[in-house]
Amino acid sequence: MQRPDGPSDARLHVAIIMDGNGRWARARGLPRTAGHKFGVDALKRTVEGASEAGVSTLTVFGFSTENWRRPGSEVSELMKLMKIYVENDLERLARDGVRVKILGRREGLSPDILQVIERAETRTADNAAFTLQVAFNYGGQADIADAARALARAAKAGEIDPEAIDEDMMAGALSTRGEAPDLIIRTSGERRLSNFLLWEAAYAEFVFQDVLWPDYGPQHLKAAIDEFRQRERRFGAVEAGKRAAG
């Protein structure tokens, strides 16, 4: 698993739990689906401002494995918004050097959504200026279970030695390939992970912001990163000053 040395001028991997669409809509007397539509605009603003804020990889939680429990009309709207976002913004993202990667299970997704995912990943596969990862039909527990299942099948087939399975091999079997975020942000004031990047979050820093996602933008991202850069990341070690003092 990737473990950076700590806050510096290095480019960051930031992950965002985009929360608060429903509450934003409800406060305005609008249906929840309206909140999701304005949430897409917030995502566009944030992606456009991320590179300037020092971010090289942005991972966002778009649709979880648990979101299937929501009303069918809301699920349909979320699927439609995924298609609209790709159809309207894919060429711009490609021109700007953004590589798009979709995390999560492909099983259960409709053929048209699978086609959208394949087109986005194929069109931007050679880009390297910035990486946008969208966790879609994703759950941290499901991803770990899928990785364990894949390693178990490989061991059963004699392709790997079960005794050789370690943290790095497990991380490599995840849909993220174990790429750990430096910073995880959650909007709307809630303070929980909600099954997002459970393995990868082991040494991430957390910033919780009291802003509903449709109101989010580059200024909020910069504020979270400024807070992050004030912290000392120790990855299980002691503070530098205490270590020197013995």
Q: What is the pLDDT of residues 142-175, one digit of tens each?
A: 999 999 999 999 999 999 999 999 999 999 999 9
The rounded mean pLDDT for the chain is 91
Bridge partner residues of 134 (DSSP): 60, 102
In tens, the pLDDT along 129-139 reads 999 999 999 99
188 belongs to a structural domain? yes
In tens, the pLDDT along 16-31 reads 999 999 999 999 999 9
For the ranges 71-75, 118-122, 177-181, the lowest mean pLDDT is seen at 71-75
159 belongs to a structural domain? no
Q: Count other C-beta atoms under 10 Å from residue 153's C-beta.
A: 11
Comparing CA positions, the residue from 124, 137, 112 lying closest to residue 62 is 137
Write out the H or E segment, with its range, that includes residue 57. strand 55-64
181 belongs to a structural domain? yes
User: How long a stretch of residues is the chain?
Assistant: 246
152 belongs to a structural domain? no
Joined together, the tokens standing for residue 171 give 């991380």
Q: In CATH, what number is assigned to the domain containing residue 70?
A: 3.40.1180.10
> What is the spatial distance between Cα 15 and Cα 116, in angstroms, rounded to a whole number?
22
Phi-psi region of 97 (alpha: psi -120 to 50; beta: other; left: phi over 0): left
Q: Is the pLDDT of residue 1 over 80?
A: no
Q: Is 210 a catalytic residue?
A: no
* pTM of the complete model: 0.90
Q: Is the pLDDT of residue 208 over 90?
A: yes
Residue 21 CB partners (closer than 8 Å, separation 6+): 32, 35, 36, 38, 39, 212, 213, 214
Average pLDDT of 205-211? Answer: 98
Q: Is the pLDDT of residue 241 over 60?
A: no
In tens, the pLDDT along 35-55 reads 999 999 999 999 999 999 999
Instruction: Quickly state the pLDDT bin for 7 (edges 50, 70, 90).
Output: very low
In tens, the pLDDT along 73-114 reads 899 989 999 888 888 999 999 999 999 999 999 998 999 999
Average pLDDT of 166-192? Answer: 96
Joined together, the tokens standing for residue 146 give 């899928």
- State the Cα torsion 236-239-244-246 to the nearest 10°: -70
77 belongs to a structural domain? yes
Total domains present in the chain? 1
Backbone angles phi, psi at 87, to 5 degrees: -65, -35
123, 90 Cβ separation under 8 angstroms: yes
> What is the spatial distance between Cα 206 and Cα 224, in angstroms, rounded to a whole number?
9
1 belongs to a structural domain? no
Which residue segment(s) compose the domain that 220 sits in? 14-139+175-231
Exactly one of 5, 21, 67, 137 is catalytic; name it.
67
Q: Is 67 a catalytic residue?
A: yes
- pLDDT value, residue 11: 87
Give the percent of the chain with pLDDT over 70: 92
Exactly one of 19, 89, 143, 182 is catalytic; name it.
19
101 belongs to a structural domain? yes
243 belongs to a structural domain? no
